Structure 1
Amino acid sequence: MKQTVVLYPGAGVSHVVAMTELANVFLKHSYDVTMVMVEPPFKSSDSGAAAIQRIAASNPSISFHFLPALPAPDFAASGKHPVLLFLQLFLDYNQLLEAFLLSFPRKRLHSVVLDMFCVHALDVCVKLGIPVYTFFASGASCLSVLTQFPALIAGRRTGLKELGDTPLDFLGVPPMPASHLIKELLEHPEDELCRAMTNIWKRNTETMGVLVNTFESLESRAVQSLRDPLCVPGRVLPPVYCVGPLVSEGAKDGDGAERNECLAWLDSQPDRSVVFLCFGSKGTVSAEQLKEIAAGLERSGQRFLWSVRTPAESLDAKKYLEVRPEPDLDALMPEGFLERTKDRGLVVKSWAPQVDVLSHRATGAFVTHCGWNSVLEAVSAGVPMLCWPLDAEQKMNKVCMTEDMGVAVELDGYMTGFVKAEEVEAKVRLVIEGEDGRQLRERVAARKQEAEAALEEGGSSRAAFVQFLLDVDSIGEQIDE
């Protein structure tokens, strides 16, 4: 009888994407996989309900189970930060999750793997005697900083915001400017949101182990720090298993899907000549910033493929939650820009098949918001990056990408929220045609080879996953005794 692994990914599209790739690894090891889903609290293109349906439809081997919907919080009226409402919602789902897990014979359940934001479900698994693990969808560097964070603010009477760019020393990562931490963590330590987030990061390492979407050689210092007794004084952290890069393979020839028009456009461009600009499933910049980017791209003389989304400021809050209309490119772009650059540039509305674009031979650089899925997709494709972090842990990723991993350069101005045209022009030229860009490409090409080696038979990530399975079996036997 096959055993079932239950994955609980939370509500964010990027988290579901990464956990779907983890599910595919379990399937290859002959486990059944059930993905437990929570209805997004609002139906919108932005919450990713449509994207999640697409993921489910294209992964028929995974069983997707939606828990009965609980009433969605009233985001507008509550006055509480949306993150607090989301965390409370997941806590409220614990009872329904418990009922679902009890529907399986205990012997059939191999383990439960929780997303980093669903970690309060740890209590349900411990109560039922099921081996429970965390899946950390970001990198080991981020995990290391967040794991060390509670000790950093213990006893502090003021928030970290006042430290500005003062570098903080954490084991395993370059000096991290205080301003680059996740913004909710910069508040006063007694602030409800700061307390809740700090508790989440503490609980992430209270499961029986942490699966991390990275490979050992990409973040070796950070991985070692998580195995160091000094990481959290007085506490032994559970095992960390680097099982990545877990990256979608993109569209396959002959799978019946219609090929996106931007790929046909890329076919007609020279090798490694195109700069791809995309800010993830939620990232947007202002209308003023879009015009500035356009000016920089035009002046650079380089080829570009640009995924543009409607700026958030041009939508009212209610519409923003419900649906994001297609951008009006004629209104958003400088007058005549599309016509003047039509021979070397393509602007697409809202969405481009990112994995397919990055793995295309014509793509030479990637302007990215530094979301971890995007970072791994670029590294796996051997494409150097220009960092433009927006929120969440993206500024922390930027520090490690530029200083530790050597796979990216930053675009000055991201901290002020405005990158000037001349900076876009200079950095695009640097990466595509400069000597620094050539060296950057060589480093990223070496990282790509390391990523491939990690996933091969006998590679570090394959070995880590096998070790994880052995450890679960051992824990399962102890629980059954």
Structure 2
Amino acid sequence: MAETIVLYPSPGMGHVISMVELGKFILRHHPSFSIIIIIAPPSFNTGSTTTYIRHISATVPSITFHQLPTISVDLNSFSSMEAVIFEVLHRSDPHVRRALETITLSNTVSAFIIDFFCSSSHKIAAEFKIPTYYFITSGACVFSFFLYFPFLHNSTTQSFKDMNTLFHIPGIPPFPTSDMIPLLLDRDSTEYRDLLKFSLDLPNSAGIIINTFESLEIRSLQTIREGKCNPYGNTPPVFTVGPLLDSGGRSTSTAVTADCLNWLDKQPNKSVVYLCFGSLGLFTVAQMKEIAIGLERSGLRFLWVVRSPPTEDNSKRFLPPPEPDLDLILPAGFLDRTKDRGLVVKSWGPQVAVLNHESVGGFVTHCGWNSVLEAVCAGVPMVAWPLYAEQKFNRQVMVEDMKVALRLAEGENGFVVAKEVERGVRELIESEKGEEVRKVVQKMSEEASAAMSDGGSSVAALGRLVESWRRC
């Protein structure tokens, strides 16, 4: 029977893409395997995966997809998108069991690789005596926190939101309570419960696969491997297989890509600040006006991807925002006054192509891990402006350990005034401090390329991972 690896991502587009790239990386270096990816259809729009999956199926025949039935839930009864995902995937467990039963009839399954959202399926793989590995789509810094999380949980009975302290987590620079992952602020929330279960399950897995590379997160990886992040005992083996980035297949707008690249072609080398905050990074109108004023006052060239502000209609909170009306969002006359040095793009921009363009000199980012890796690979220094999820953790490591980003000063509720936007982008492009960050990130870019080359650290880690499958 065929030797097969089964992957099970969260239904979000970014998580699916990362899993597909992991599958392609395995096949590139170990083509005797086949890859089956179990897909749980999302219960809300996280970015349509249908076209993407169709393209991968047509172009990478060694990767096949097993679609699970749709799970219907009342979205209005959930406090967050993450709560919906955990519930949908938990309810999908019977379908996952049937899928594995079907797959094992005609395949020898060497490993079951799951996203952290899918932790309830770990016990199912155990029923089939299939070793389970977690794939961490964030960095090693976040993994080190989750290993330590049960100890943190047991050390207090308070919710983090009620504390005012500085956390000292092994492998991570100290961070204040205000930088805690928002889903964990309330000890009584379902999200807290589900993430605690995931953390408790981590040491029971066969191994941890992380989308990072050795020289990018030296401190976190060393601390993890020394066992300091899990005071209770076992730390599974860790395999760094990154940077794994979208290598094509996602539906893109050819017209928008052409407009962006044609405009960038006319700009001087390393002169443009690129601003983009991820598919879920939405700002209020007041905040967008501050960004616009700051960019205008800076005098710098910029390419800014603008999305509509978050909806006030609770029934539409899980739907993608409509195309933005720039005349309503931006200050009057802003587009005319900056038309010779700025380009504003609605909703989406070709980020990888933009970051790799020679005219781009800096990136204002929400610190999503995929965006961080894309900037590092392109050798582009960053200004860190985290908005949600684990992004404040990422900022701490990007600024303090990696030295690939500069920090913005935030006010109440994360609000950043125009003067601080202006200061941040000018420091990145024009100052000696910005130049120091540029030199570091360019060196990291070379090391990222080396890690993914034959004989590199990530290829070697994949080799050790494959060996662990064959020993099971």
Give the TM bin, normalised by the shorter chain.
over 0.9
Q: Which residue of 2 aligns with 1:129?
A: 129
Output one character per residue of 1:239-294: Cα deviation in whole Å (capped at 9) or x when no partner: 01011011124599xx9966432111111111111111001011111101111100
Question: 2:116 maps to which residue?
Answer: 116
C-alpha contact (below 8 Å) 2:114/2:135 kept by paired residues = yes
Correspondence for 1:199: 197
Aligned partners of 2:320 and 2:449: how far apart in 1? 38
How many Å separate the matches in 2 of 1:319 and 1:172? 39
- Alpha-carbon spacing, 1:382–1:13, altered in 2? closer, same or farther (3 Å): same
Aligned to 1:418: 415
Displacement of 1:176: 2.1
Cα drift, residue 417 of structure 1: 2.2
Which residue does the alignment assign to 1:67? 68
Deviation at 1:175, TM superposition (A): 1.0
Question: Who is 1:86 aligned against?
Answer: 85
Contact kept in structure 2, 1:134 and 1:205, CA below 8 Å? no
1:237 aligns with 2:239: no
Q: Describe the SS at the equivalent of 1:409.
A: strand
Counterpart of 1:33, as a letter, is: I
Tell me which residue corresponds to 2:41: 39
Pair 1:198–1:448, CA change in 2 (3 A): same
CA distance in 2, matches of 1:10, 1:205: 20
Q: Secondary structure at the match of 2:235?
A: coil
- Counterpart residue identity of residue 388, structure 2: D
User: 2:358 and 2:81 mapped to 1: Cα distance?
Assistant: 41
SS of 1:117 mapped into structure 2: helix
Structure 1 residue 351 corresponds to structure 2 residue 353: no
Q: Which residue of 420, 429, 433 corresponds with 2:430? A: 433
Aligned residue type for 2:114: L
Q: Matched residue of 2:219: which SS?
A: helix
Contact 1:355–1:377, Cα closer than 8 Å, also in 2:
yes
CA distance in 2, matches of 1:312, 1:465: 41
Alignment match, 1:224: 222
Deviation at 1:432, TM superposition (A): 0.8
- SS of 1:103 mapped into structure 2: helix
Q: Which amino acid aligns with 1:136?
A: I
The code of the aligned residue for 1:104 comes to: I
Deviates more, 1:264-273 or 1:368-377: 264-273
Deviates more, 1:52-61 or 1:400-409: 52-61
CA distance in 2, matches of 1:228, 1:212: 17
8 Å contact kept, 1:5–1:33? yes
Partner of 1:216, secondary structure, is coil
Does the 8 Å CA contact 1:116/1:204 hold for their aligned counterparts?
no
Q: State how 1:6-21 maps to structure 2 within 5 Å.
A: 6-21=6-21
The CA RMSD over aligned residues, in Å, is 2.0
Q: Distance in 2 between matches of 1:414 and 1:101?
A: 50
Per the alignment, residue 298 of structure 1 pairs with 296
Equivalent residue, structure 2, for 1:333: 330
Distance 2:82 2:200 in 1: 17
SS at 2:73 equivalent: coil
Residue identity over aligned pairs, in percent, reads 42
Aligned length: 463
Q: Cα offset for 1:87?
A: 1.6
Amino acid in the other structure paired with 1:32: S
1:478 paired residue number:
none
Deviations 1:189-248 (A, max 9, x none): x55442322112222342100100000111111111111233212311110101101112
CA contact 1:388–1:414 (8 Å) conserved in 2: no
Q: Which amino acid in 1 is paired with 2:6? A: V
Amino acid at match of 1:460: S
**Is residue 141–residue 222 contact of structure 1 (8 Å, CA) maintained in 2?**
yes
The 1-side partners of 2:2 and 2:259 are apart by 42
Question: Separation in 1 of the partners of 2:400 and 2:11?
Answer: 32
Q: Specify the alignment match of 1:96 in structure 2.
A: 95
Distance change (3 Å), C-alpha of 1:196 and 1:323: closer
2:66 maps to amino acid: H
Return the TM-score normalized by structure 2. Answer: 0.93
Partner of 1:442: 439
Which of 291, 312, 317 matches 2:314? 317
8 Å CA contact 2:148, 2:231 repeated in 1: no
* Code of the aligned partner of 1:444: V
CA distance in 2, matches of 1:36, 1:104: 10
Q: Which residue of 2 aligns with 1:471?
A: 468
Structure 1 Cα separation of the partners of residues 319 and 143 of structure 2 = 32
d(CA) in 2 for partners of 1:21, 1:451 = 16
* Unaligned segments of structure 1, at least 5 residues: 476-481
Separation in 2, partners of 1:136, 1:460? 17
Q: Give the match's secondary structure for 2:413.
A: coil
Letter in 1 for 2:180: L
| 2:183 matched residue in structure 1 | 184
Distance in 1 between the 2:462 and 2:344 partners? 40
1:147 and 1:290, CA in 2 relative to 1: closer, same or farther beyond 3 A? same
Matched ranges for 1:233-312 at <5 A = 233-249=231-247, 259-312=257-310
Separation in 2, partners of 1:284, 1:80: 18
For 1:175 and 1:138, the matched residues in 2 are separated by: 19
- Identify the residue that residue 479 of structure 1 maps to in structure 2: none
Q: Distance in 2 between matches of 1:320 and 1:85?
A: 12
Matches within 5 A, 1:24-35: 24-28=24-28, 29-30=30-31, 31-35=33-37
> Counterparts in 2 of 1:163-182, with a 5 A limit?
163-164=163-164, 166-182=165-181
CA positional deviation for 1:425:
0.7
Equivalent AA in structure 2 for residue 154 of structure 1: N
1:362, 1:460 → 2: CA distance? 30
- Letter matched to residue 34 of structure 1: I
**Alpha carbons 1:251, 1:356 under 8 Å: kept:** no
1:93 Cα deviation (Å)? 0.8
Q: Name the aligned partner's letter for residue 261 of structure 1.
A: D
Distance 1:148 1:415, change over 3 A: farther
Residues 388-417 of structure 1, C-alpha deviation per residue, up to 9 Å, x if partnerless?
Answer: 100110001000000000000111116632
From 358, 364, 368, give the equivalent of 2:361.
364
- Is the CA contact 1:114–1:135 (under 8 Å) kept in the aligned structure 2? yes
Q: Is the 8 A contact 1:13 1:281 kept in 2?
A: no
Describe the shift of the 1:82–1:266 C-alpha distance in structure 2 as closer, same or farther (beyond 3 A): closer
CA contact (8 A) 2:167 2:175 kept: yes
What SS class does the counterpart of residue 135 from structure 1 fall into? strand
Contact 1:26 1:32 (8 Å CA) reproduced:
no
Q: CA deviation at 1:180?
A: 1.0
Which piece of structure 1 moves more, 144-153 or 107-116? 107-116
Distance 1:57 1:305, change over 3 A: farther
